[in-house]
Structure 1
Amino acid sequence: MATLWTGGTIYTMACEGETVEAVLVENGIITATGSRANLAPQATTIHDLQGKVMYPGFVDSHLHIIGYGEKLKHLDVSHVTSKEELVKLLQARMQASGAEEWVIAIGLNETQFDEPIFPSLAELDALGDVHLIVKRSCHHLILANSKALAFAGITSDTPSPEGGVIEKVNGQLTGVLKDAALYMIVNHMPHITPVYIEDALEKAVKSLQAYGLVGGHSEDLSYYGPPSQPITAYRHIVEAKKSFKVHLLQHHTVFEEVMDRREPSSPYVEFGAMKIFVDGAFGGRTAALREPYCDEPNNAGILVHSKEQLMSYVRLARHYNQTVAVHVIGDLAIATILDVFGAIPPKEGQLDRIIHCSLVDEALLDRLASLPVAVDMQPQFVQGEYNAEVAKLGGERAQGLHPLKSLLDAGLIVAGGSDAPIEVPNPLQGIYAAVTRRNIGESHEGYGPKEKISRFEAVRLYTVGAAQIIQQDHCRGKIQVGYTADFTVLMEDVFQVELDRIPTIPVAYTIVDDQVVYRHESIVDNHMLEKQG
């Protein structure tokens, strides 16, 4: 059985502007490209695109899929613009919940408030007798009420854990937990059951498919009980349905356990690099900097692990012939991990992975280019909190904030992701952010405009780049013979529409291994399929 996709614009992404008239697919693999006239006789089914635009399937190179599903399940406060509005939403949800339930709000960004302050612990406690967690948009800081703190045994006498902060003022808890400290609560909440995990995962995958995504590189294995629980969920929800392709990073705390289980990989659930958090984030001022924050001169952030600890983790990964993927935001964090990678390189031909890489200078760019590393960027990071980050870093240092063009100009492999649930996992929003470096609806030259890239380079982040960073660019990320038949089909052309319309282009189809896993509601089946006579 062979199928032919034709009748629209088909971009191969092999080089800028290259299109083909038709694509022939058999058993989920592209077997030929060329003209409709030449390929149609070989097809048993023709899929008429009716003028729509096909690309290699878009892939989000860095997100937390189950965590994104949790955001869909819980209270989304990402659009809240005042403390009063936040308190009102929390109170309504808490009053509708039972005493033993957990109310979880996700996406808080106080920089959107007129006065960027969090509710106090007393204000949170006054909302009701329910466990409450509010996750900041960066997910490196949470607010917890006293009931949630008590659940984890956190008191005013509890010391901050290594790599984290239990915030106190005059010796008293504020309810703010940063980085490693927040896991004292969030990794142990009793409602995280297999049923809960599978429900969150199923919601997430459906949403991601609707955004045109055929796959994602995710990190979930240390947050939902033993790693067998999220792995089983992925087997049930993703692998069994063969409708999405997941590349799983393995947090260093569960890496050895997962590797020793010899979990089999498949095209739908595959196991990748060891994941390590090296520092925190700008939002909570925990990203590790060479020089202190401008607005907190006694604070230069935190390294979650010492260099010696990082060396031991990387050696463990190398023992298993595995690469390493690191969360690094600040310039000190980047410099520290590059020292480690330089001392303990991967095998010939392998690439370690730098995730975020949010603050660089010329020297760091040179070091990155000299090592076998690829960079995993989130273009939307320039949108939400850029001005607040400049205030924290200062204008001169912020010249290296959220680089993109400089990474590509240095010859580095760069992939694009959303870090969902931190950002919306819509690749079109990421493409728009990469090209304009501004928020939707704005008209200025962009935040750090020298880092803007072309539309082709931006689409490449989510196609070729996403395949290169996991060294599968020989079979994914392009429309070429021998590549998987994973396609994203849009109603309009990303390369031709007015720039500000890119984020709102409707997704027509999402196709995995030649199977339509998402179809826009306006498309009628019999308009898509035309049987050969």
Structure 2
Amino acid sequence: MKLIQTAFVALICLTFVSGCGQSNPESATLVITDTRVWTGDKDKPWAEAVAVKDTVIMAVGTNADIAEFVDSKTQIIVATGNMLVPGFIDSHVHFLDGGASLASVQLRDAASKEEFVRRIGDFASSLEPGEWVLQGTWDHENWGGELPRRDWIDAVTPNNPVWIIRLDGHMALANSLALKQAGVDADSPDIAGGEIVRDENGYPTGVLKDNAMSLVSAAVPPPGEAAWTRQINAAMDYVASNGVTTVHDMYDALGDPATSQRSLNVYRKLHADKELITRIYLFSALSRWQLLRDYIEENGRGDDWLKFGGLKGFMDGSLGSHTAAFFEPFTDAPDDRGFLINELDDVRAWVDGADKAGLHVTVHAIGTLANKELLDIFFDVAEANGERDRRFRIEHAQHLRPDEIARFKAQNVIASMQPYHAIDDGRWAEKVIGPERAKTTYAFRSLIESGAHVAFGSDWFVAPATPLEGIYAAVTRRTLDGANPGGWVPEQKISVDEALRAYTVEGAYASFDEDKKGMIIEGFLADLVLINRDLTAIPPTAIRDARVLTTIVGGEIVYDTVRETH
């Protein structure tokens, strides 16, 4: 892929004499030509070239169709052999945490207890005494499933409190110094919707789950605005390199009146200074829905760059932490079936109040019980409050019974899912839930065939914000350990076209933006991604090797690997 050469520009000018001699109002600012354009439009799914005028798409068609929009000032990219798709929409990220994780200790692939401890010690040695070791995203399944303990890491972190999260975000490990600073000891009571994991003597091991995590999190000093700015900029650069042009940020931007307001101010300042290169749809805490209602009444819902109106709640925890709520016990823990994080009456009241206020509600649900109870709440609230285009969402919709699958379409509930989790969890999930429940785990095929809206995302920082890997995961379902070459639960595989739609068209629908983004059609925002290979023309197993070449947001190139000048 390269900018078109001068000789070819001259050829276009000879063909369309009126175009190239001077700039005119009908000329394009950017043209991408001679490529495979997947438009996302079912009526016209493929094209050869696209013309962009400033921030929007002005024309889509053949190379000849688009040549008439070229003049001497048009930037032209010839993308022979490449594929152009709408900008990827990541429908579930934790943007600030993701940005912070880029500069934190890296534990995701620590394959043994010894490697886990060594990396933490090495990172702590690079810090000043008293600085916290945070993030980490560890996975105890990498070394056989034994939960880490504070005494593993105390000796290598004597001067630095440690608070590192499991990659699912539903449990974390503290060292003894962090527990001391947080005031957590053997006398600390458990918290509803959470657990302090204890040893045989009743003393905390250092692992805290779900709501109990707040005991230590409250002791962590919040970043300053300069740190938040660095985190957001790092996050934007990272997702741009992976072709993501819009994120649905599940950060509680309006929760705590002090800390969260300051972080929100950072987003707003970047927006005011025109420094955003990623479009952001912010979700705040469902339990504090009144704050979002009041904010919107005073400030509005934002614009195409920074948008408000979404609320995020929780039903349960995660499978890997054994805190997802199921009807039946875990296969590897017969006395445990997980738990609901919040009282059902509270969730019902929050959803009802937010819905009456015209806000957009999404709720995290992993286990079968959590999903069933949430669908019941959504049904009851919709019945009580009357018909409107509310588009309730369930984040993850991970473990579903067949009866619940049909309800997504019937109730117009969006399944916001993360395909990378399937090839990650698939390494060990059957150990936890057994083969029968696994049949409708990450049920992409069943949901799509039922007619439900399925939007894809990453859950970054929990998983990489890499849509190409997500497409690979949804199409192949080959687990990361290579143990399932035919795919884990292969009957739930989907096609490349369906996976692309989930990352584009359906992502736009999931934020009420289907009239302006998610497809390459005239009048839509010029959010585009150029990929080095046509994903529909290569073996599914090769999708993982495809690479993003160029990312364009609002007509501006925000990431590029091979562009040449002339």
TM-score higher than 0.5: yes
Deviations 1:446-504 (A, max 9, x none): 00000000011111111111111112112111111221111011121111123222122
Matches of 2:345 and 2:425 in 1, distance apart? Answer: 33
- Give the drift of 1:142: 0.2
Partner of 1:406: 446
Does 1:118 pair with 2:152? no
Selected match of 2:435 from 374, 379, 395: 395
Selected match of 1:185 from 206, 211, 216: 216
Deviations 1:109-144 (A, max 9, x none): 11111x321332223222222101121111101010
Partner of 1:15: 42
- Give the drift of 1:108: 0.7
**CA spacing shift, 1:199–1:288, aligned 2, 3 Å:** same
Partner of 1:29: 56
Whether the aligned pair in 2 keeps the contact of 1:202 and 1:237 (CA below 8 Å) is no
Does 1:100 pair with 2:136? no
**Count, aligned residues:** 524
- Give the drift of 1:183: 2.4
Matches of 1:467 and 1:183 in 2, distance apart? Answer: 33
Amino acid at match of 1:255: W
Q: Which deviates more from structure 2 when the two are superposed, residues 306-315 or residues 492-501?
A: 492-501
- Give the drift of 1:440: 5.5
Equivalent position SS for 2:520: coil
Whether the aligned pair in 2 keeps the contact of 1:211 and 1:426 (CA below 8 Å) is yes
Equivalent position SS for 1:59: strand
Amino acid at match of 1:227: S
Whether the aligned pair in 2 keeps the contact of 1:329 and 1:358 (CA below 8 Å) is yes
Alignment of 1:3-152 (within 5 A): 3=29, 4-15=31-42, 18-44=45-71, 45-51=74-80, 52-113=82-143, 115-127=144-156, 128-152=158-182
Deviations 1:192-231 (A, max 9, x none): 2212211111111101001111111111125885332222
Deviations 1:267-296 (A, max 9, x none): 111013211011000111000001111111
Amino acid at match of 2:547: P
Partner of 1:502: 543
Amino acid at match of 1:322: L
Amino acid at match of 1:48: I
- Give the drift of 1:368: 2.3
Matches of 1:141 and 1:155 in 2, distance apart? Answer: 17
Whether the aligned pair in 2 keeps the contact of 1:221 and 1:254 (CA below 8 Å) is no
Amino acid at match of 1:261: Y
Matches of 1:202 and 1:254 in 2, distance apart? Answer: 27
Matches of 2:507 and 2:279 in 1, distance apart? Answer: 12
Deviations 1:337-356 (A, max 9, x none): 11111110175122100110
Partner of 1:333: 370
- Give the drift of 1:23: 2.1
Matches of 1:116 and 1:299 in 2, distance apart? Answer: 16
Partner of 1:368: 408
- Give the drift of 1:519: 0.8
Does 1:207 pair with 2:238? yes
Whether the aligned pair in 1 keeps the contact of 2:427 and 2:479 (CA below 8 Å) is no
Whether the aligned pair in 2 keeps the contact of 1:156 and 1:172 (CA below 8 Å) is yes
- Give the drift of 1:26: 2.2
**CA spacing shift, 1:322–1:427, aligned 2, 3 Å:** same
Q: Which deviates more from structure 2 when the two are superposed, residues 194-203 or residues 24-33?
A: 24-33
Whether the aligned pair in 1 keeps the contact of 2:527 and 2:554 (CA below 8 Å) is yes
Amino acid at match of 2:338: G
Partner of 1:311: 348
Q: Which deviates more from structure 2 when the two are superposed, residues 151-160 or residues 24-33?
A: 24-33
**CA spacing shift, 1:390–1:210, aligned 2, 3 Å:** same
**CA spacing shift, 1:294–1:283, aligned 2, 3 Å:** same
Does 1:439 pair with 2:479? yes
Does 1:230 pair with 2:237? no
- Give the drift of 1:105: 4.4
Whether the aligned pair in 2 keeps the contact of 1:83 and 1:118 (CA below 8 Å) is no
**CA spacing shift, 1:149–1:340, aligned 2, 3 Å:** same
Amino acid at match of 2:371: I
Whether the aligned pair in 2 keeps the contact of 1:201 and 1:237 (CA below 8 Å) is no
Amino acid at match of 2:510: I
Taking only the aligned residue pairs, the percentage that are identical comes to: 29
Whether the aligned pair in 2 keeps the contact of 1:10 and 1:55 (CA below 8 Å) is yes
Does 1:512 pair with 2:565? no
Deviations 1:155-178 (A, max 9, x none): 211112221111123321111100
Q: Which deviates more from structure 2 when the two are superposed, residues 251-260 or residues 272-281?
A: 251-260
Whether the aligned pair in 1 keeps the contact of 2:242 and 2:466 (CA below 8 Å) is yes
Selected match of 1:467 from 480, 504, 508: 508
**CA spacing shift, 1:17–1:447, aligned 2, 3 Å:** farther
**CA spacing shift, 1:349–1:258, aligned 2, 3 Å:** closer
Amino acid at match of 1:96: S
**CA spacing shift, 1:35–1:226, aligned 2, 3 Å:** same
Deviations 1:307-345 (A, max 9, x none): 101111112202321121010000000011111111101
- Give the drift of 1:95: 3.0
**CA spacing shift, 1:304–1:343, aligned 2, 3 Å:** same
Deviations 1:418-454 (A, max 9, x none): 1011111110000000000013683621000000000
Whether the aligned pair in 2 keeps the contact of 1:238 and 1:245 (CA below 8 Å) is no
Q: Which runs of 5+ in 2 are unaligned?
A: 1-24
Amino acid at match of 1:230: S
Amino acid at match of 2:534: D
Matches of 2:35 and 2:317 in 1, distance apart? Answer: 45
Alignment of 1:224-373 (within 5 A): 226-237=259-270, 240-262=274-296, 263-264=299-300, 265-345=302-382, 347-373=387-413
Partner of 1:194: 225
Matches of 1:185 and 1:97 in 2, distance apart? Answer: 20
Partner of 2:15: none
Matches of 2:87 and 2:474 in 1, distance apart? Answer: 18
TM-score normalised by the chain length of structure 2:
0.89
Whether the aligned pair in 1 keeps the contact of 2:222 and 2:259 (CA below 8 Å) is no
Q: CA RMSD in A?
A: 1.9
Matches of 1:463 and 1:6 in 2, distance apart? Answer: 21
Does 1:524 pair with 2:564? yes
**CA spacing shift, 1:505–1:16, aligned 2, 3 Å:** farther
Whether the aligned pair in 2 keeps the contact of 1:221 and 1:231 (CA below 8 Å) is no
Equivalent position SS for 1:344: helix
Amino acid at match of 1:141: M
Equivalent position SS for 2:429: helix
Whether the aligned pair in 1 keeps the contact of 2:271 and 2:306 (CA below 8 Å) is yes
**CA spacing shift, 1:360–1:379, aligned 2, 3 Å:** same
Equivalent position SS for 1:380: helix
Amino acid at match of 1:118: L
